[in-house]
Structure 1
């Protein structure tokens, strides 16, 4: 499975999934809210029609099924039906008798009012219920079957000098559903629109921030490499000046003192002192050459890595430590990677010589499947890597960023009394 590395692509992927989840959730909630709102609008329409149109046209003669009263109401209802929202109208008294219906053949029939109808008749308000195709109305209007899914609403009207009566209105659910979809679409755009806009704005801001961070990282890497190059140049200068100056002078002085110590003309007691001085000069010269190799090795390439590491561990003999160097299969490694291996080995060996009190020290470099492996082991006193004062507090920790930038790993394993192992892995190229 491919993992997205670009943070902007990751944000877009998460954002799209989030928006999709929100769209699904809001669609469900908006659909439910829109359905309730569409039904509420139908109920409000029923109440408005009942109070402003039907109630003013209601005549007491309807209670006695007067033809003239029925005709007057019929002319009023015909206009209502032409509006298109209401498909059928019915007036019922408190006993369930049909006082008026747009189908005149239903007038004077009697139905059984349910609890919802009686409650509205008694307390007022409105009621609503869905009627499926072929189903009789909830009030059980004889002979009536819905020709399609409809919404039945009812409310109470109070004619003058008459008991309250019920006004029922049937709405086509197709029209109600259209209104529901219109309301739902409004909710959807209200909820999703700002999210999409916010996502676009955040994406642009994230792009700008990512570009700034990338530039800052590139600048940091450039400064770090410049510092390394400057450090290498300074190391080369110091090593060159010491080699061409002090080392040559000490070498010449050591030869001269050794030659003088062998001169028969020199008194015996002076000859002994000269021999001690010559040995001291040779030891100092050897230490100085090891220091020069540590400051800057003469050949930091794959072919010269073994010799550079051998020179690096040369001072171990003077500290009573038996040092071993093994370099296998590093041919083909880039000079940059070889230099990184040497820097890490240099810091690890320096820590071992200064702090470990070890008796053995091994440096191993090998290459497996295009990966360079470095291990520096000692059998010294060890330390707690979690402690603040460990030998690698500054040196190796300072190299971790270089190893990380090269795509490698650097690990220090140690514990008090168990020695120290420094391990690094990095691509050979």
Structure 2
């Protein structure tokens, strides 16, 4: 089966997914808004954590560490004890996890871990920025710089930990500028984010859920109205097709019983008179008889076009083969892949015949094609959950069908859109895949309903 080319246009009948689409779109919108609210809550929590950490660190540097650091650096025992006790008090709740004071030459002047004091390490840009008077904060997954500088082991509890790191300037009279580094546990950020999310998510989603619940009955009502409209449309279409069939039968019968019989009688009369006619008139009467035979054949072909043969008793494959074979007289290369489909319900067989005739007429009159392929057969005869289907596919390599021509009925035959409605009413699907300058593929799939199963379903 030809693959659908890029840019092709497919016309499908039986659009019954409106309700699912509306409800699904609403659920997707709620999910997207919920994810957005979660992301916004976390972003707000992170921003708030950085702001709080910067303020806390600056106050800790100015009000606690700064005033006590001079005595600590001078080696005063009371100063050392007082500073260490003050820092332990601030770290008691577990939020503040580490503090370090850096000099410009990379020396650790103070740390809550005594083993790090006096070590040196290359200063990071953040420490240098703090020494120059700027406040820097960020989220950090790595261990603090002082841990790396001391070469000590990292706390195993912090293998997967994240931190909020803050660097603030530290100024002491008579000493060069320093940087004060503080690390905070990221778990507080998660707690704030979860708290914000638990507060904001109901405020966002509950109104949306209520709106969705209000919309569902409205959508259901519209869907029922649309379904009723489709049923009415299908019923009117059935009535129109039935009336059209009756007119076609009547017109075909009038052709058969009227002009065809009269012309056949005239042909017989000419055939009987020709042997006794003068020799100079024999050739003329023979040509007249041949012209009458051609006219009779043309009228019989027209009669068949007006109404199909008895598809309820004949095999549909033979009829489709005969239709397609006529295109060879137009110079087209016809490929047939027709397998027996068995006796079908009259409605199903007639619908497939109309699709085949309409498609082949379009190929002859409008496609400008060189080749056409026709495929007919049963598909998935053991399909789980349902019976077999019969598939008809007609494809050509012509110029394609312009979308505005798919519904034209002024050319002496039913439009493809009208046939799509008829196929849909029978529980099938008609698709027309067309690409300009790359041909057209018409595919009809219908349940392979037999006359027996159709009669039992109606009863």
Does 2:281 align with 1:270? yes
- In 2, distance between residues paired with 1:12 and 1:357? 47
Which of 371, 376, 393 matches 1:365? 376
Cα RMSD of the aligned pairs, angstroms, is 5.4
Indicate conservation of the 8 Å contact 1:325/1:362, yes or no.
Answer: yes
Alignment-derived partner of residue 292 in structure 1: 303
Task: Within 5 Å, give how 1:197-346 maps onto structure 2.
Answer: 197-262=210-275, 264=276, 266-301=277-312, 303-309=314-320, 312=323, 327-346=338-357
Indicate conservation of the 8 Å contact 2:311/2:350, yes or no.
Answer: yes
- Deviation of 1:13 after TM superposition, in Å, equals 4.0
- Deviation of 1:246 after TM superposition, in Å, equals 1.3
- Deviation of 1:411 after TM superposition, in Å, equals 4.0
Which of 401, 412, 417 matches 2:420? 401
Does 2:392 align with 1:374? yes
Unpaired segments ≥5 residues, structure 1: 33-110, 113-128, 136-180
The 3 A distance-change label for structure 1 pair 201 and 317 is: closer
SS at match of 1:6: helix
- Deviation of 1:284 after TM superposition, in Å, equals 0.6
- In 2, distance between residues paired with 1:353 and 1:27? 65
Please say which structure displays the higher CA radius of gyration.
Answer: 1
Indicate conservation of the 8 Å contact 2:334/2:371, yes or no.
Answer: yes
Indicate conservation of the 8 Å contact 1:344/1:396, yes or no.
Answer: no
- Deviation of 1:236 after TM superposition, in Å, equals 1.4
Alignment-derived partner of residue 10 in structure 1: 24
Indicate conservation of the 8 Å contact 1:323/1:360, yes or no.
Answer: yes
The 3 A distance-change label for structure 1 pair 256 and 275 is: same
Of 19-28 and 305-314, deviating more is 19-28
- In 1, distance between residues paired with 2:195 and 2:437? 72
The 3 A distance-change label for structure 1 pair 256 and 194 is: same
Indicate conservation of the 8 Å contact 1:403/1:426, yes or no.
Answer: no
Indicate conservation of the 8 Å contact 1:365/1:373, yes or no.
Answer: yes
Task: Within 5 Å, give how 1:386-397 maps onto structure 2.
Answer: 397=416
The 3 A distance-change label for structure 1 pair 201 and 312 is: same
Q: Which has the higher contact order (CA 8 A, sep 6+)?
A: 2
Indicate conservation of the 8 Å contact 1:306/1:325, yes or no.
Answer: no
- In 1, distance between residues paired with 2:440 and 2:41? 60
SS at match of 1:365: strand
- In 2, distance between residues paired with 1:391 and 1:404? 15
Indicate conservation of the 8 Å contact 1:8/1:207, yes or no.
Answer: no
Task: Within 5 Å, give how 1:37-186 maps onto structure 2.
Answer: 132=93
- Deviation of 1:425 after TM superposition, in Å, equals 4.3
Indicate conservation of the 8 Å contact 2:398/2:437, yes or no.
Answer: yes
- Deviation of 1:269 after TM superposition, in Å, equals 2.0
- In 2, distance between residues paired with 1:314 and 1:183? 74
Which of 398, 401, 406 matches 1:383? 398
Report the TM-score, using the length of structure 2 for normalisation: 0.48
- In 2, distance between residues paired with 1:421 and 1:193? 50
SS at match of 1:223: helix
Give the total of aligned pairs: 298
The 3 A distance-change label for structure 1 pair 131 and 224 is: farther
Of 212-221 and 349-358, deviating more is 349-358
- In 1, distance between residues paired with 2:406 and 2:219? 41
- In 2, distance between residues paired with 1:285 and 1:17? 70
The 3 A distance-change label for structure 1 pair 213 and 389 is: closer
Indicate conservation of the 8 Å contact 1:290/1:315, yes or no.
Answer: no
- Deviation of 1:283 after TM superposition, in Å, equals 0.8
SS at match of 1:303: coil
Report the TM-score, using the length of structure 1 for normalisation: 0.51
The 3 A distance-change label for structure 1 pair 326 and 256 is: farther
Indicate conservation of the 8 Å contact 1:373/1:423, yes or no.
Answer: no
The 3 A distance-change label for structure 1 pair 130 and 243 is: farther
Unpaired segments ≥5 residues, structure 2: 1-16, 47-81, 84-89, 97-193, 382-388, 449-459
- Deviation of 1:286 after TM superposition, in Å, equals 0.7
Per-residue CA deviation, residues 269-291 of structure 1 (Å, 9 max, x unaligned), is 22322211111111110111011
